[in-house]
Amino acid sequence: MKRFLSILALVMVLALCVVGFASCGNNDTPDEPNNGGDDKVTVSWYQGSKLLKEEEITKGSKVTAWTPAAVEGKDFTGWYAEASLTQEFDFDAAINADTDIFAKYTSNVFVEDTKSYYLIGTGSGDMKQSGWNHDNSMQHLVMTKTENATANVYEIQILMYAGDAFQICYGGTYDGQVGIGYVPGVEYAAGTNRYDNNTYEAADKKYATVKDQDGNVIFEGHDEFNKEYWTWNVFLAAGQDGVYKIIYTTYPDHPGDNTITYELVEKREPLAVTHEMYVCGTVSEWGFDENYMMTPDDTKENFSYLLNISEAAQIKLRNKIGDVWYGAEKITVVNDCGVWNEDGNLALEAGVYKISYSVATDTATVEAVAKSFWLAGVINGTDCWNCASGVEFEKVNDTTYKAYYTFTEADTKTDWMTGFVGACKATYGYAGWDAEFWFGNATDGENVTIDSYGLYELVLTLNNPEDLSLGGTLVATKLEGYFLVGTIGDGDTWRAESQNKIEVAEGAEVTTEYTWTEKDKADWLGAEQISAIKIINVAEDGTITWYGAASGDNVIISELGTYSITLVDGAVVATKQ
């Protein structure tokens, strides 16, 4: 019996030891269950916010596409990597973390598109007819809607050369514009961005390509305004010159599914290069220096260069193709900003010069330029969102600049101007060049809108004149009524300005006072004359009526002092007090 009890006790001890060793070997606790270990990840499949299924896979492995259940009135079109359904899911990529995959459905109910679409852009081929001008595009580059009972398909056939660019728009406006992001197969890629000339990786999303089935790049896209590729211009890649059919398929009820496709109709040889223009002279040791190569525009017919020299220099222009020199017989010097010396070279003093050459006329111009503030917007009926409007702001003091402009019906773009008749901003840069800085309204920095036609005083106030990146505010004030004009206010002021407005009560006579001092003397008047004045009336639409002496001439002020100026029977009378 004792032997049996001893054996039983030994068995119980051994059993307890086994349990103890088993417990020591297991580190899991009830609060931290083992859900497959660190080598597992979860893949969740969604239709919108609805979870379709979930599966656990080994980290580093892949999943296989499958077709979800049918949805009435919709077609399943694929799996996407994010809820916005813009980037297709890559089933060839290994999965190393928990991943969500989203199903995309599109309506299979046909909705007719009634819009008229056209191409807008620039280049050396047919896009030259556009020049980024909506009116030109709507005349020459309208897409034709095909007869199709189940889809909205628009087509146009155009000749394109490398570097030509286009977008698709409707209604004479950039609203609704689409670009390379709507071309199937577009991908962000490594490459050089044409707008800032920097080289980027695909992850930077600054450059994109569309390739054909053989892997050749057909179209390129370049980020200009820090946006995704949906509205980027579509540029034809080098070596792909030809006649293309551009096809735009639209879905008005889900425009995110619109597509731009293309067909090569006829291959063409690259456009012959006839001009490579250089500024040659003492700045380049009279040779071809890439730093002084003139930049062609998109049509390859106009060249420009901004020459910035810190000391006097002598120059000519030179075409590398054929080695042709351009001197006094071909170059116009604007405002005598340079002098032709006895060697036939253009001698320039230190400064900044805009140099332009036209293939069409085979002539060039050289003019001195300086950075300034410019009125930008729809000006004189043209989109001038740079420094090319010709309307320059005048300096009042270090922080304040003024410009004057009469907005007319020509400045209204009815397709996108709703509730206002004009839009503008202020820009800073060299005349005729792209803007370096932009200034808008005080609320959000966007366009200043014009409510009615007429003459406006536009005042730009800078936040910090030493650092223009800190911005500023543009304010537009409509000018109407009577104004005193002439050699007043420390200069010739022959226009309506807010500080010279004559306040006139209803039914009262037009009268004001002004005190002439030494600062008002005009050099162009005779020794016995101090100032010359008139009164103008600015109508609501900006039309101006002038009033002078009874003869119609200027009213002459001959002595310093304070005068009462009155409009009597259409003539201006000045009486010294």
* Overall average pLDDT of the 251-272 stretch: 92
354 and 397 assigned to the same domain: no
Q: pLDDT (tens digit, 9 = 90+) per residue, 151-197?
A: 899 999 999 999 999 999 987 766 678 999 999 999 999 999 998 88
Q: Are residues 147 and 235 in the same domain?
A: yes
Q: Is the pLDDT of residue 402 over 90?
A: yes
In this structure, what token pair is assigned to residue 551?
Answer: 């003869």
Answer whether residue 10 shows pLDDT above 50. Answer: no
34, 28 contact by CB (below 8 A) = yes
Name the 3-class secondary structure at 17: helix
Helices and strands (DSSP H and E) totals, the chain = 2, 45
Containing domain of residue 131, as a range?
117-267
**Structure tokens, 89:** 């899911």
Contact between 534 and 555 (Cβ < 8 Å): yes
Query: Is 89 found in the same domain as 174?
Result: no
Helix, strand, coil shares, percent, the chain, to 5: 10, 45, 45
The CA radius of gyration of the chain, in Å to the nearest whole number, is 36
Contact 354, 431 (CB under 8 A): yes
Both structure tokens of 546: 């002038």
For residue 31, what pLDDT band results from cuts at 50, 70 and 90? very low
Q: How far apart are CA 548 and CA 570, in angstroms?
A: 8
Nearest to 531 by CA among 577, 500, 483, 487: 487
H or E stretch covering 393: none
Please state the pTM of the whole predicted model.
0.61
Amino acid in the structure at residue 227: K
- Are 379 and 391 spatial neighbours (Cβ–Cβ below 8 Å)? yes
Per-residue pLDDT of 205-232, as tens digits, reads 999 999 998 999 999 999 987 888 999 9
**Within a 10 A sphere around the Cβ of 384, how many other Cβ atoms?**
19
Task: Quickly state the pLDDT bin for 40 (edges 50, 70, 90).
Answer: very high
> Is residue 384 assigned to a domain?
yes
Q: Is residue 509 part of a domain?
A: yes
Residue 14 resides in a domain:
no
Per-residue pLDDT reduced to its tens digit, 360-369: 999 999 999 9
Q: Which residues contact 285 (CB under 8 A, 6 or more apart)?
A: none
State whether 250 and 215 are in the same domain. Answer: yes
* Domain end among 223, 241, 267: 267
Residues 226 and 309 in one domain: no
Q: What are phi and psi of 352, to 5 degrees?
A: -115, 135
Residue labelled with tokens 């259940």? 69
pLDDT for residue 527: 78
Rounded Cα distance between 262 and 240, Å, is 13
> Residue type for 84, please?
S
Residue 394 located in a structural domain:
yes
449 three-class SS: strand
Tokens of 205: 């999303």
Distances (CA, A) of 446 to 28, 402, 423, 442: 61, 19, 10, 8
pLDDT higher than threshold 50 for residue 18: no
Q: What is the DSSP string of 481-534?
A: EEEEEEE-SSSEE-S--GGGEE---TT--EEEEEEE-GGG--TTS-TT--EEEE
What's the rounded Cα separation, in Å, for the pair 513 and 564?
5
Same-domain pairing of 432 and 362: no
Strand partners, 153: 249
The pLDDT of residue 173 is: 67
Domain of 61, CATH number, reads 2.60.40.4270
What is the total count of domains within the chain?
Answer: 5
Two tokens at 101? 């995959």
Count of other CB atoms within 10 angstroms of residue 82: 11
**How far from the centroid of its chain's Cα atoms is residue 452's Cα?**
26
Task: Give the confidence band of 3 by pLDDT, cuts at 50, 70, 90.
Answer: very low
Do 74 and 129 share a structural domain? no
Please give the pLDDT value at position 192.
Answer: 96
Q: Exposed, middle or buried: residue 455 (CB in 10 Å: 0-12, 13-18, 19+)? A: buried
Tell whether 254 and 282 lie within a shared domain.
Answer: no
34 within a domain of the structure (yes/no):
no
**CB count, 10 Å around CB of 84?**
9
> Residue 394 is part of a domain; what is its CATH number?
2.60.40
Assess if residue 64 is contained within a domain.
yes
Select from 142, 141, 117, 146 the least CA-distant residue to 131. 141
Kindly give the pairing relationship between strand 437-439 and strand 448-450.
Answer: unpaired
In order of 206, 217, 271, 444, 519, the CA distances from 527 in angstroms are 66, 74, 65, 52, 15
Q: Which one of 368, 400, 416 terminates a domain?
A: 368
Q: Mean pLDDT, to the nearest integer, of 86-100? A: 92
Beta strands in 330-469 (DSSP E): 331-333, 338-340, 346-348, 351-358, 363-368, 371-379, 382-384, 394-395, 400-407, 422-430, 437-439, 448-450, 454-462
pLDDT of residue 110: 85
| Host H or E run for residue 191 | strand 191-192
Nearest alpha carbon to residue 548 among 559, 556, 538: 556
Q: Is 136 found in the same domain as 242? A: yes
| Identity at 294, one-letter amino acid code | M
Instruction: Please tell me whether residues 262 and 166 are part of one structural domain.
Output: yes
More confident residue, 58 or 176: 58
Q: Which residue, 267, 295, 313, sits at the end of a domain?
A: 267
Q: Are residues 145 and 232 in the same domain?
A: yes
Q: Is the pLDDT of residue 508 over 70?
A: yes
For residue 135, the surrounding DSSP H or E stretch is helix 134-140
List the CATH number of the domain containing 318: 2.60.40.3620
Q: How far is CA 37 from the centre of its chain?
A: 52
Residue 8, pLDDT > 70, answer no
Residue 163 near residue 180, CB atoms below 8 Å = no
Give the Cα separation of 454 and 30 in Å (integer): 80
Q: Are 219 and 183 in contact (CB under 8 A)?
A: yes
Residue 134 located in a structural domain: yes
CA–CA separation, 10 vs 3, rounded Å? 11
pLDDT of residue 224: 85
Write the single-letter amino acid at 50.
K
Whether residues 148 and 84 share a domain: the answer is no
- Cβ-contact 317, 326 below 8 angstroms: yes
Q: Which residue has the tokens 């537009």?
A: 476
Host H or E run for residue 18? helix 2-24
**Considering the domain boundaries, does residue 333 fall inside one?**
yes
How far is the C-alpha of 45 from the C-alpha of 68, rounded, in Å? 10
